[in-house]
Amino acid sequence: MRRWLLLLLVASIPKPSAFAQLGVRHSAFQVDALPPAVPAAAPSPEFPLRVHVFQVRWGGLTYRNHGYGTANLLDGTTTQGFDFGFECDRAFVENRGPDETYQARWKKQPYALEILTADLDGKHQQPCKLQIALERHPFDPGNQVRFIHGVSSSLRVRWSDPDFAYEVRAPDYPVQFHVVDTQRREGPNDDVGWGTANLFDPATNAPRQGASFQYECNYGFMPNSQLQTYYQGHWVEPGSKLEILMQRPGSDKVDKCVLQVSLQPQPYPERAMAVPASPASPAGAPAFSQRSQVNP
């Protein structure tokens, strides 16, 4: 009888392939000791584009790393900023020097890129696919906000790329909601998040004010990575519930999320590296880049 029960128990343990189907490796509680990859030094004609990674955060395990960041795409004639999420065998570092780049190519234009990474010794090269959301402006050291928090994934559920701000103008969403900082927790069905933001409502033309918020939505989202950008929103309940538009990286899908908002009398300070003048703010709106600098 005991032998029969033991055999039944062993047979019920999921195999590694079953874990893979769930997006969780059988080594899910072993900390990853692999160093992150670096830009491949040997030129490859299959990767004609260049990507400069400004910042990247990641978390994960051996052969399953995921994260997000900001970068510029350089195609020889133009420079295009973008936010990205990824899940690759190995994480990778940001570009340290101003002229350092990753070799890149389109995987699904304009929603996915591959960059070419390499081990520290340069012997093994490997591509990493980035799910991207294009920005209206390129990044530079004076036009980006530092990501404060790392990746908050328990790795017990499949990693879900965070959403970013949807930047195509939507007249029905006139409220400018600039997310200063936010954290999220992934659940089996929804993401739960909270954070701080600065809000400008053209309907009232009142001065910019701070807002703390929390939410439970199908997709979580990231802070605004550029100083003059914001999430477009409209009031579901004026002063307390705000619906925002979000861009899902890797596709043209636009998501929506309703936030519980608590307005504050003063705006929150940015954690920025510099404070340039905003080149394009709507009439009557304060330039989100014109604020006091706070060292990260």
**Which of 269, 286, 289, 100 minimizes the C-alpha distance to 208?**
286
Give the pLDDT confidence score for residue 62 in this predicted structure.
64
Say if residues 153 and 186 touch (Cβ distance below 8 Å). yes
| Total Cβ atoms within 10 A of residue 258 | 15
Distance CA 219, CA 164 (A): 10
Give the pLDDT confidence score for residue 213 in this predicted structure.
98
Partner residues linked to 64 by β-bridges: 61
pTM beyond 0.85, yes or no:
no
Give the pLDDT confidence score for residue 109 in this predicted structure.
95
Residue 189 makes CB contacts below 8 A (sequence gap 6+) with 218
Q: What is the DSSP letter of 272?
A: B
Give the pLDDT confidence score for residue 281 in this predicted structure.
33
Chain centroid to CA 91: how far?
14
Say if residues 226 and 274 touch (Cβ distance below 8 Å). no
The count of residues in the chain is: 296
Flag residues of the chain having pLDDT under 50: 1-32, 154-156, 273-296
First-last CA distance in the chain: 64
* Joined tokens for residue 173: 């969403």
Q: Where are the domains of the chain?
A: 38-134, 164-263
For residue 267, give Cα distances in angstroms to 112, 149, 198, 244, 248: 35, 20, 6, 19, 27
Give the pLDDT confidence score for residue 186 in this predicted structure.
76
Give the pLDDT confidence score for residue 61 in this predicted structure.
67
